[in-house]
Structure 1
Amino acid sequence: MTAPKPKARADRVSLWHYLRLFRADILSAQPARLYRAWMAEFRTPFFRSYLCNDPALVARVLVERPEDFPKSNRISEGLRPILGNSVFVTNGEVWKRQRRIIDPAFEGGRLRDTFPAIAAAGQAAVARMPLGVVEVEAEMSHAAADVIFRTLFSIPIEDQIASQVFDAFRDYQRTQPLLNLAAFLPLPAWVPRFHRRGTKASAAKIRALITQMTEARAAQIAAGTAPDDLATKIMTTADPLTGACFETSEMVDQVAIFFLAGHETSASALAWALLMLALYPQVQEQVAAEAAALGDAPDFAALSKLRYTRDVFREVLRLYPPVPMMVRENTAPEDLRGRLVAKGGQIVLSPWHLHRHERIWKNPDDFDPSRWQTEENRACARDAYLPFSAGPRVCTGAGFAMVEGVLLLAQLARGFRFEPVAGEDPVPVAHLTVRARDGIRLRISRR
C-alpha cells in the first residue's frame, strides 16, 4: 500500500494556470516529472526559480556555502505580519546573533529538563482525546500547542492567555496563504504587501498576547521568581560576542516562530502519524506493544526503548515533511549542473520531492518504517532526508521535535486504537505546513 499523496498535475500547463495552482497548493501544482528530475527551471516574467533535487546541489546550498544562498524574501514576506524579524526570516549577522542566543536553550541537557513538561502535555492529550470519529488534525494542534506553552512558559494550554493565543492562531491559519503577491512580483520595499485584512488582524492579536506574556516573564526575571523554562533561558542568555540579551520586541518575534514552527509542524507530523497507524494496523500494534512499557509517568530514559516508534516517526517525516519546500537566493552568478543561473535566482529545495524521489529511494511512496534499519536507506537519508533542513540553518529545535513526536505518538498508541473511516481519503496540501485538504478523520477507541 502506498501512502496518500496529491495527484501530480500534467507536465505542461499555462503559466497563469500554474500560478493559480501554486498559490492554492504548492504540492498539487508540481508536475509528475519532478519526482524523478535532478533539477528543473521555472520561468516567470519577473524571476526564475530552480528546483534542485540533486543531493550535491542541496549540500552546496545548505551545508557547504550557505552564506552564498541566503533565505529568499519572497517566501518570508507572506509571514512577516506574525513573525516580524524572527530567526526564521533573517539572514547574515542578524541571524547569527539570534542563533547565538537561542541555540543554548535547545542543547542536549535542556531536552532532559523539558521532558517532564512534554510528557505532561502527552498525558493531557490522552485524557482529552474524544472517542468515535474524530478529526485528529485539530486534536494534534491542541496537543502540540500545549507542549509549546508548557515548555516555553510553564503554563498549560488551559491558561487564559495561552488559550487566546491558540484560538487566534487558528484564525490566522484560516486566512493566511503560504504565498502572497510579493512572492510573484518584484515589489519595492515601500509598496504594501496586500496581506488579507483578517491575516493582519489575527497576527496583531497573537503578537499582542505574546507581548503580554513576554513582559510578564521579564518582570518575573527581574524579581527572581521566573521558572526555569525555555523562555527564561532564552531571555537571560547574553550574546557571547556583545553581552546583550534580547529586548522584549525581539523576544516577541522569536516566541512567534517557536509557536509557528514548534506547534504547527509537530501538529502536522503527529496527525499524519496517526493516519499511518490507522492505515497500517501491523505497525500500530508494534508501536502499541513498545509503548505499553512506558507506564503512566515515563522518564527521559524511556525514550531509548522506543526504537521502533522512532523509526515510524522518521518515516512519517520522510513522507510528510511538515515544511515541504525551502527557498534560497543566490547572491552571485552560479553554475547549477551546467546551467548558468544569474544572481537573484530562486533556489528551491524540496524535502517533499527529495523524500519521494524515484532515483534516490526504493519504493519511495511506500510507508515502510523498517527501511530505517537498512544501510541502503540510511545512505539515502544522508543524501536526501532533511525534514529539519541541514547545515548551519538546521532547525534549532530538531532534537526537541523528535522527543515530542516519538513520545506523544507512543502515549497515544498506548491508550487508543486508530482505524480509518470508510470513504475518507486524506489528500496532502501545503498550507503553512503539509496538512490534509479536508482534515484527517479517524475512528478512535480505547485499548
Structure 2
Amino acid sequence: MVPPKPASRQGRFAFWRYLRNFRRDILSANPERLYGAKMAEFRIPFLHTFLVNETALWRRVLTQEPLNFPKSPRMAAGLEPLLGQGVFLTNGEVWRRQRRIIDPAFEGGRLRDTFPAMLAAGRATVDRLAALGPAPVDVEPQMSHATADVIFRTLFSMPIEDATASAVFRAFRAFQGTQPLLNLAAFLPLPRWVPRLHRRATLTAARRIRALTRDLVEARRAAIAAGTAPDDLATKIMTTPDPETGRPFDDAEMVDQVAVFFLAGHETSASALGWALYLLALDPGLQDALAAEAGRELGAAPDFGAVSRLTLARDTFREALRLYPPVPMMVRQAACPATFRGRAVNAGAQVVISPWHLGRHRALWDDPDAFCPERWSTPAGRAAAREGFLPFSAGPRVCPGAGFAMIEGPLLLALMAQAFRFAPVPAQSPVPQAQLTVRAKAGIWLTIIPRAA
C-alpha cells in the first residue's frame, strides 16, 4: 500500500519560483531524482548547498567529523525568537555543556519513571477521542493535544488541562500558524545585528510562550528550594550540575531548554502520530492486529516492561517515521574546506542531510514509498535502517529524547488502536507539507469509531 507523497518539482529550474516554493514547502520544491542520488549540489545566489544521501557522507558529517560541520546559523534564525539559546540551536562549548546537564534526565532509569505519566496522558487521549463521536475528525490537532499533555505531565507533573499548560499550548499553536520553516535569513548571509524580519504574530506568540515558561521555571525553582518539588524531568534537569563546572542551569537557560523540549517533544511526536494513524486507517487488518497486541501486552495495569513487548506498535511507528520524518531535513555548515565525492566544499557551504529522502531512497529500501511495517523484522529492512533511517539524527547530536519518543509513540498508538477503529474520509487524502514539521496541508481527516460499538 502506497500512501500519499508530495509531487516533485517539474520543468526547468527558475530561482525566484524555487525560492518561493522552497519557503512554502521544501518537499515539493525539489526534483524527483533526489530519491536516487548519492549527492546533489545546488548553487543559488548567496547559497551553496550539498545534499548528501550517501551513507559514508552523512556519517562523516554527523558522526565522524561533527565539529567540522556544526549546526547552520542560517536555519536557526527562524526559531531563535522561541528557542533562544536552547540546545537545538547551539554549537561548541555552549552545546556541550547543555548536553552534559540534559542527557542524564533521559537515561533509561529516568524514562522508566516517566511511564506512569505517559500512560495517564494516553488514557486521557482515548477519553477525549471517545467524546468526539463517530464523525470525521482532523487528528492532527488531537495528536498535538495528546503529545503536549505528555510533555507537561512528564516535565512539570501537570496535565494539559492545567491553566498554564493550556495557555502555553494555545500560544504554541499560534506560533506554528505564523512561522514558516525557513526565515529569510536562511537564504541571505545577513550579519547578526540585522533584524530577521519575523512576522509580528510570530514574535508575539514566542514572547507569550517564553513568559509562561518563565513562570513555570520560577515556580519550580521555589518548590525545589522549599523541598516540595515533584521528582519529574524539570526537577531532575534543574538540579543537575554540569559535571565539569559544577554549575546547573540558571532560570534563563532553563526557559530556553523548556522551549526546546516542548518543540522537539511535542510537535515532532504529534506529526509522527498523526501520520501513523492515517497509515493505520488504510489497513484495517493491521489495526486489528495492533488492538490484539495491546490487549495482550498492556492489560488493565501495564508496567514499563510492557512497552518493549509492543513489537507491532513499535514497527508501525518506525514505519511512519521513515515515510513521514517529522524533521525532513537537517542542515549543517562546513566550518572548514572539505571534499565530497570529488567536489570542493568551501567553508561556509551548507550541508543537508535529509531524513525524508533517505527514508525513501531507492538504493536503500525495497519498495521505498510503500507502507510496510513488516520490513522492520527482516534482515533487509534492518540493514536499510542502519544506512538511511535518521528521524532523530545521529552521532553526538542525536536527539536526547529519542528514547522518550520511542516509548511515547508506540504506547499511545497501541492505546488508541485498542480503543478505536480508524477509517479514511473519502476524497480527503492528506498532502504532506513541510511546515515546522511534516504536516498535512489541510489536516489528516479520519472517522474514529469506538471498538465497543
- Give the shorter-chain TM-score range: over 0.9
- The DSSP-based 3-state class of the residue aligned with 2:241 is coil
Q: How big is each residue's C-alpha offset from its partner over 1:220-262, in whole Å with a ceiling of 9 and x where there is no partner?
A: 0000000000000000000000000000000000000000000
Contact 1:119/1:297 (<8 A) preserved: no
Alignment of 1:297-446 (within 5 A): 297-446=301-450
State the partner residue of 1:19: 19
SS in 1 for 2:270: helix
Matched, 1:192 2:169: no
Amino acid corresponding to residue 395 of structure 1 in structure 2? C
Asked whether the equivalents of residues 11 and 32 of structure 1 are also in contact (C-alpha less than 8 Å), the reply is no
The worse-fitting range, judged by mean Cα deviation, of 2-11 and 196-205 is 2-11
> For 2:217, which of 206, 214, 217 is the aligned residue?
214
CA distance in 1, matches of 2:410, 2:12: 41
Instruction: Give the SS at the match of 1:124.
Output: helix
Structure 2 counterpart of 1:288, which letter? A
Residue 30 of structure 1 deviates from its aligned partner by 1.1
What displacement does 1:11 show? 5.7
Q: Is the 8 A contact 1:100 1:239 kept in 2?
A: yes
Q: Say if 2:58 is the partner of 1:83.
A: no
**Aligned partner (choices 229, 232, 236) of residue 229 of structure 1:** 232
Deviation at residue 9 of structure 1 after TM alignment: 1.1
Q: List, as ranges, runs of 4+ consecutive aligned residues in structure 1 with deviation greater than 6 Å.
A: none
**Does residue 202 in structure 1 map to residue 205 in structure 2?**
yes
CA deviations on 1:167-203 (whole Å, 9 max, x unpaired) are: 0001000000011110111111111100000000000
After TM superposition, list the pairs within 5 Å mapping 1:21-100 onto structure 2. 21-100=21-100
The 8 Å contact of residues 11 and 31 in structure 1, kept in 2 or not, is answered as no
In the alignment, is residue 109 of structure 1 matched against residue 117 of structure 2? no
When normalised by structure 2's length, the TM-score is: 0.98
Q: Structure 1 residue 299: deviation in Å?
A: 1.4
- Find out whether 1:289 has 2:318 as its counterpart: no
Q: Any conservation in 2 of the 1:11–1:33 contact (CA below 8 Å)? A: no
After superposition, what is the alpha-carbon deviation per residue over 1:121-163, rounded to whole angstroms, capped at 9, x for unaligned? 0000001112221110010000000000000000000000000
Aligned counterpart in structure 2 of residue 172 of structure 1, from 161, 170, 175 = 175
1:262 is matched with which residue? 265
The CA deviation string for residues 100-138 of structure 1, in whole angstroms up to 9 with x for no partner, is 000000000011100000000000000111222111001
What SS does the corresponding residue of 2:78 show, helix, strand or coil? helix
Instruction: Give, in whole Å, the separation in 1 of the partners of 2:425 and 2:376.
Output: 29
Query: Partner of 1:276 in structure 2?
Result: 279
1:59-81 Cα deviation digits (max 9, x unpaired): 00000110100000111100000
Aligned mates of 2:309, 2:101 — CA distance in 1 = 33
- 1:295 CA displacement: 2.4
The secondary structure found in structure 2 opposite 1:445 is strand
Q: 1:337, 1:327 → 2: CA distance?
A: 19
300-309 or 364-373: which moved more? 300-309
Q: Aligned residue pairs: how many?
A: 447
- Secondary structure of the residue aligned to 1:143 is helix
| One-letter amino acid matched to 2:251 | T
Give the CA deviation at 1:12. Answer: 2.9
CA distance in 2, matches of 1:181, 1:430: 16
TM-score by length of 1: 0.99
Match of 1:204, SS?
Answer: helix
Q: Deviations over 1:84-109 (max 9, x none)?
A: 00000000100000000000000000
Residue 40 of structure 1 contacts residue 52 of structure 1 at CA under 8 Å; is this kept in 2? yes
Question: Mind listing any 5+ residue stretches in structure 1 that lack a counterpart?
Answer: none
Partner of 1:158: 161
Q: Secondary structure at the match of 1:78?
A: coil
1:282, 1:42 → 2: CA distance?
A: 44
Task: Give the match for residue 120 of structure 1.
Answer: 120
Q: Which runs of 5+ in 2 are unaligned?
A: none
Aligned partners of 2:292 and 2:404: how far apart in 1?
24
**What's the RMSD between the two structures over aligned residues?**
0.7
